Structure 1
Amino acid sequence: MRTVKVDATASTNSYLREFSRSMDLQEEILLWTDHQFAGRGQRGATWESQPFKNLTFSVFKRVRLFPVEKQFYITMAASLAIVELLKEFEIPRLKVKWPNDILAGNRKLCGILIESVVKNGKLDALIIGVGLNVNQTHFERAPQATSLALETKKEFELAQLIKKINPIFEKYVNRITRGDFEQIKVEYEAELFKKDRPALFSNPNGDRFNGMIKGVSEEGKLLLQHEDDAIRKYGLKELKMLY
């Protein structure tokens, strides 16, 4: 996987999308910057990131023959890649908060945003965007955020982290390519935050209810066991975990 660095950009995902259009990319590329000034998160949220303090990167992968119904496996693989990297630094209480936030305890350490590139009505490529809090120690708009520096009391070289990340991501990309879906799902569910433990949720109407996470469906919906023991599926916009 080729690594490319840009000095600054609004969003590594957007940059790669435009770059892929102009260059008709066929190879896998990891593009990173240490100054992303308009990063995006899930549900239209912005990503708070101080310049030269954090790691923001995106991976471009062609997936022309990839089954559309298997797209969530890319999310699972990307989450597992980040968890594998962070375990090397002995970050305590690492978990994946469905669908793809990486937590240390109850605090968000990393976010992932995956976007599809569609051509002629068919899935053509995926762009996997990652924002990892590294050396930032104060967060104004994200009170539940943390960073590698806060968790380890150490500072990190961003370029060295990218060198570690690249082969890990390449490994998980290869696992997806060869169809290692079942094992990836098992590993992802084992890392899920609050799995098999009572948790509080709310729906779009603001109603609160208790449930227990049992896993995810093939299409990436959350499988939630309710107090009546019924297991129901939920999409990203259908509920919010309160923690």
Structure 2
Amino acid sequence: MKLIKLDAIDSTNEFLKGLSNKQELDNFTVVIAEKQTKGKGQMGSVWDSEEGKNLILSVFIKDPLLNVNQIYNLNIAIALAVVTALESFNIPELSIKWPNDIMSYNFKIGGILIENSLKSDGTVSSVVGLGLNINQTNFENLPKASSLAVICKTQFDKEQVLFNIIEKIKQNVDLVQREPQYLWLQYTERLFKKGVPMPFKNKFDKNFMGIIQGVSPMGKLQVLLEDDSVSQFGIKEIQMLY
């Protein structure tokens, strides 16, 4: 694993994408930063992080997929890698809030953003961004956010957490092609609020009740509605009200 450490950067994902365009990168090249000024989340949302307290990283993964139809397999592999790595530190009540938020209890402790590049030969390379709240304790105006330190009432070694996560990512990327069914089973079992009646809001700001059933192969959330039908929703088409 090649590790590039930066004090500050606009975005580790943008830095790593730029680097991959200029030179041939080793698989699992990792960029970490103590401060990120323009961190990105899903669909252009912003990821804020207190300087020096958290893990801000991006990983370059070379050709993890056989074709573009497997893109969501990588999402579940990465989310699972983060959760299983954190389980080794005894972080309680971990789950994955669709599509890629890492939760402990009802609090968001991390977020994942994967950006894929399709090559002319049909192969896909990926830059995986992860923001994980480690030792930050102040979450003013962020009532649904927390960190490992707040939840476990102790400080953590960021580098140790990093190496555990990268090791799990390597293992799961290997499983993407060999045993994707295993990854899907583990991911579905860890889905946040799966099987629990929950209020939702759709893209028209209409509230409704539903029960999460799982996620489709293309990454859409499957929700059982009150009329016993199952509908599928893409990112930004549905919001869970929890």
Q: C-alpha displacement at 1:185, in angstroms?
A: 0.5
Instruction: Spell out, residue by residue over 1:148-186, the C-alpha distance to the aligned partner (whole angstroms, 9 max, x if none).
Output: 10011111222222222221111111111x331111111
Structure 1 stretches (4+) deviating beyond 4 angstroms? 120-123
Cα separation, 1, equivalents of 2:55 and 2:28: 19
1:184 aligns to what? 183
- Letter matched to residue 44 of structure 1: G
Cα pair distance change 1:26/1:92, threshold 3 Å: closer
Aligned residue in 2 for 1:131: 131
Query: Which runs of 5 or more residues in structure 1 are unaligned?
Result: none
Q: Could you say which residue in structure 2 is the equivalent of 1:234? A: 233
- C-alpha separation in 1, matches of 2:122 and 2:13: 19
Report the equivalent of 2:85: 85
Shift of 1:26: 5.0
- Partner of 2:45 in structure 1? 45
Whether the aligned pair in 2 keeps the contact of 1:48 and 1:141 (CA below 8 Å) is no
Tell me the TM-score normalised to structure 2 length. 0.94
Question: What's the offset of the Cα at 1:67?
Answer: 1.6
Tell me if the contact between 2:54 and 2:134 (Cα under 8 Å) persists in the aligned partners: yes
The one-letter code matched in structure 2 to 1:12 is: T
Shift of residue 41, structure 1, vs aligned partner: 0.6
What residue number does 1:209 align with?
208
What CA distance in whole angstroms lies between the structure 2 residues aligned with 1:235 and 1:56?
Answer: 26
Deviation of 1:4 after TM superposition, in Å, equals 2.4
Q: Distance in 2 between matches of 1:164 and 1:240?
A: 31
User: Which secondary structure does the structure 2 equivalent of 1:114 belong to?
Assistant: strand
Q: Does the aligned pair in 2 maintain the 1:81–1:169 contact within 8 Å?
A: yes
Give me the identity figure in percent.
Answer: 38
CA–CA separation in structure 1 for the residues paired with 2:210 and 2:218:
20
Report Cα offsets for 1:27-79 as digits up to 9, x if no partner. Answer: 33122122222211113111110110000111111227622111001110111
Contact 1:9 1:33 in 2 (8 A): yes
- Could you say if the C-alpha distance between residues 29 and 141 of structure 1 is closer, same or farther in structure 2, counting changes exceeding 3 Å? farther
CA deviation after TM superposition for structure 1 residue 121, in Å: 8.8
**Match for residue 109 of structure 1?**
109
Task: Tell me the equivalent position of 2:25.
Answer: 25
- Go from structure 1 to structure 2 and tell me whether the alpha carbon gap of 1:210 and 1:121 turns closer, same or farther (over 3 Å shift): farther
- Find the counterpart in structure 1 of residue 151 from structure 2: 151
Q: Secondary structure at the match of 2:129?
A: strand
> TM-score, normalised on structure 1?
0.94
Number of residue pairs the alignment of both structures matches: 242
Structure 1 position 120, deviation (Å): 4.3
Ranges in structure 2 where 5+ consecutive residues have no aligned partner: none
Further displaced range: 4-13 or 224-233 = 4-13
Contact 2:109–2:145 (CA under 8 A) maintained in structure 1: yes
